[in-house]
Structure 1
Amino acid sequence: MVCGQGHRQDITSGGPVTVQPTGRLEGKRAIVVGGGQTPGATTGNGRAAAVTFAREGAQVLVVDRDLDSAEASAELIREEGGTATAHRADITVEDDCAGILDAALAALGHVDVLHNNVGIVPAGRTENLDAQTWRQGFEVNLTGMWLTCKAVLPHMRERGSGAVVNISSMAGLLAGGEAIAYTTSKAAVHAMTRSLALEYAPHGVRVNCIAPGMMDTPMGVDAPAKAGGISREDVAGKRASMVPMGHQGTGWDVANAALFLASQEAAFITGTVLAVDGGFTLTSRMS
């Protein structure tokens, strides 16, 4: 059953989002890793993806390191008539990643879609960046994503079908001296995505990546505003001014792109990196 219908509002902020569910994931089972979110005024990419997949007919396992946040996303889905279960996992722990598949099989029966949304932003130029921060950036942004893929891809291979959507960043497509660990780890996600796509293409499994740009999400706006002691409006305005289209995107823009890549409409697409950025990557660099 497809949950939700017609025109919708952003669950958190009340911002306009038009959604007309058509059952594009009807009968599918999806894992959304990073399906909770940090506190903020808008809806994050992971929560938006979980809700969008459910609206399109998927049963969803919402995974997050913060179980309460994962449960909040699952409850939003259930309130709309969808099916969702929350599960706690830390993707930097290999046993936790293996447990994600176990939880999915118990709750959903099988897995058709794996959506990877976890990431952090380790900031700093080369000369003032400590090695531990560098390692943590790669551990979360790259290794953790590889571990979830390692856990789920054998199941998809055995079934002869599946779609993986990795969320990266436009930072992986541009130079960004202020955050070298971030840009480098995100570029590595793109390379990993292409390698996995080639490895699993003969088995009917597709692996793609989305590179979001300036998005009006809690991680993109609220977190840096709080850290810098400045207003959310000032952060959002500065970010919007950098986008050729003149405004930021939303978590729902990323979710809609993920829906396309997860659906049969993208049945002949694998190994791609799709920029969802309002034209930002047409510019020369991050900063």
Structure 2
Amino acid sequence: MMKLEGRKAIVTGAAQGIGRGIAEELARAGCDVLVGDLLDRPETALAASETLSGIEALGRRALAVQCDVRLEEDCEALVRTAREQLGGLDILVCNAGVMQIGGVSEITSEQWRRVLDVNLTGTFQCCRAALPHMLEAASGVIVNIASTTGLRTSGERVAYSSSKFGVVGLTQALASEVAPKGVRVNCVCPAFVRSGMSVGELMQQTGIEDPARADAAWTKLGEKTGPLGRSVEPSDIGRAVVWLCESEMVVGIALPVTGGNGLPGLT
């Protein structure tokens, strides 16, 4: 029997990209999954339905709920739905996030607030909504999705990098608070992942207008620059999340998943 067989998981921002990869790998490991995303956007709702189909094809239950992580009431409703309709909550993965390119003199205060509100405050609010139920059960796992820019800064992404440093700090603070009460908290720090966000950033930086061409360019970039000869895929992040959920003595870490990109002597 798989370690996570029958566990109930929430993944935010799981309609596509990294979130979908995480949701599908959790399902493959035996979890029923609740997808939280911006379902009031038609394109996101369509993408979420594809994620649900992928989870169900793996033989697991799947639900999708409207969730804007900036809204405390949406985060609370997400947790409530998991308990009422999935039958519990064992795993929370806070993945919802937005990117903003630009240094401190290039971005607006509004852009700064949006990135911090989604990436950091949204993660905090989802954790806070889930924790009372996990603490009551003296059991549970939270995995936050940060970034390698939360470990070493990127000046051209000042808001994004700051938010992800915050996620790493939040993860460590929560871990020290709740580990003695039976709840483990860790985070994953991805880099060079093929996703809508990363391909969109490449389009912005290069001026490529066709998404298919940009995706092909991303593939080529991964083959050329990555020591393993390929870019990191959403499923790679998903498998890292599964490992953290299964690893009972791993607490408070920030796990880089980069395919070796950035290692001295390799790239």
Give the TM-score normalised by the residue count of structure 1.
Answer: 0.83
Kindly indicate whether the alpha-carbon contact (under 8 Å) linking 2:99 and 2:197 is maintained by their aligned counterparts in 1: no
| Residues 248-259 of structure 1 aligned to structure 2 (within 5 Å) | 248-259=231-242
Corresponding residue of 1:280: 261
Write out the 4+ residue segments of structure 1 that deviate beyond 4 Å after TM superposition.
none
Secondary structure, in 3 states, of the residue corresponding to 1:256?
A: helix
> What is the distance in 2 between the residues matched to 1:225 and 1:279?
20
| Residues 55-94 of structure 1 aligned to structure 2 (within 5 Å) | 55-66=28-39, 67-94=45-72
Q: Cα offset for 1:239? A: 5.0
Given candidates 29, 32, 36, the residue that maps to 2:11 is: 32
Secondary structure, in 3 states, of the residue corresponding to 2:105?
A: helix
Q: Cα offset for 1:270? A: 0.8
Kindly indicate whether the alpha-carbon contact (under 8 Å) linking 2:22 and 2:238 is maintained by their aligned counterparts in 1: yes
Kindly indicate whether the alpha-carbon contact (under 8 Å) linking 2:79 and 2:129 is maintained by their aligned counterparts in 1: yes
Q: Cα offset for 1:246? A: 3.7
Given candidates 102, 109, 115, the residue that maps to 1:124 is: 102
Secondary structure, in 3 states, of the residue corresponding to 1:127?
A: coil
Kindly indicate whether the alpha-carbon contact (under 8 Å) linking 2:147 and 2:190 is maintained by their aligned counterparts in 1: yes
**Residue 261 of structure 1 pairs with residue 239 of structure 2:** no
Aligned residue identity for 1:130? T
Q: Cα offset for 1:220? A: 1.5
Corresponding residue of 1:177: 155
Secondary structure, in 3 states, of the residue corresponding to 2:156?
A: coil
**Residue 224 of structure 1 pairs with residue 201 of structure 2:** yes
> Mean alpha-carbon deviation: is it higher for 68-77 or for 130-139?
68-77
Aligned residue identity for 2:36? V
Aligned residue identity for 2:53? E
Secondary structure, in 3 states, of the residue corresponding to 1:126?
A: coil
Q: Cα offset for 1:245? A: 3.4
Kindly indicate whether the alpha-carbon contact (under 8 Å) linking 1:71 and 1:85 is maintained by their aligned counterparts in 2: no
Secondary structure, in 3 states, of the residue corresponding to 2:198?
A: helix
Secondary structure, in 3 states, of the residue corresponding to 2:64?
A: strand
Kindly indicate whether the alpha-carbon contact (under 8 Å) linking 2:35 and 2:64 is maintained by their aligned counterparts in 1: yes
> What is the distance in 2 between the residues matched to 1:283 and 1:143?
33
> What is the distance in 2 between the residues matched to 1:120 and 1:199?
27
Kindly indicate whether the alpha-carbon contact (under 8 Å) linking 1:173 and 1:281 is maintained by their aligned counterparts in 2: no
**Residue 188 of structure 1 pairs with residue 166 of structure 2:** yes
Q: Cα offset for 1:159? A: 0.3
Given candidates 14, 24, 27, the residue that maps to 1:54 is: 27
Secondary structure, in 3 states, of the residue corresponding to 2:63?
A: strand
Given candidates 220, 226, 234, the residue that maps to 1:237 is: 220
Q: Cα offset for 1:128? A: 1.6
Residues 102-146 of structure 1 deviation map (CA, whole Å, 9 limit, x = unaligned): 111111121100011111111111112211111111101100010
Kindly indicate whether the alpha-carbon contact (under 8 Å) linking 1:49 and 1:252 is maintained by their aligned counterparts in 2: yes
- Gap runs ≥5 in structure 1: 1-21, 38-43
Residues 168-218 of structure 1 deviation map (CA, whole Å, 9 limit, x = unaligned): 111111221111111111111000000000110111000000000101222
> What is the distance in 1 between the residues matched to 2:77 and 2:84?
10
Distance 1:147 1:240, change over 3 A: farther
Secondary structure, in 3 states, of the residue corresponding to 1:271?
A: coil
Kindly indicate whether the alpha-carbon contact (under 8 Å) linking 2:18 and 2:234 is maintained by their aligned counterparts in 1: yes
Residues 40-93 of structure 1 deviation map (CA, whole Å, 9 limit, x = unaligned): xxxx21111111111211111111113333232112211332211111110011
Give the TM-score normalised by the residue count of structure 2.
Answer: 0.89
> Mean alpha-carbon deviation: is it higher for 61-70 or for 197-206?
61-70
- Gap runs ≥5 in structure 2: 40-44
> Mean alpha-carbon deviation: is it higher for 243-252 or for 145-154?
243-252
Residues 16-48 of structure 1 deviation map (CA, whole Å, 9 limit, x = unaligned): xxxxxx6231021111111112xxxxxx21111
> Mean alpha-carbon deviation: is it higher for 66-75 or for 176-185?
66-75
> What is the distance in 1 between the residues matched to 2:61 and 2:240?
21
Corresponding residue of 1:10: none
Corresponding residue of 1:199: 177
> What is the distance in 2 between the residues matched to 1:210 and 1:108?
25
Kindly indicate whether the alpha-carbon contact (under 8 Å) linking 2:10 and 2:35 is maintained by their aligned counterparts in 1: yes
Corresponding residue of 2:42: none
Distance 1:248 1:190, change over 3 A: same
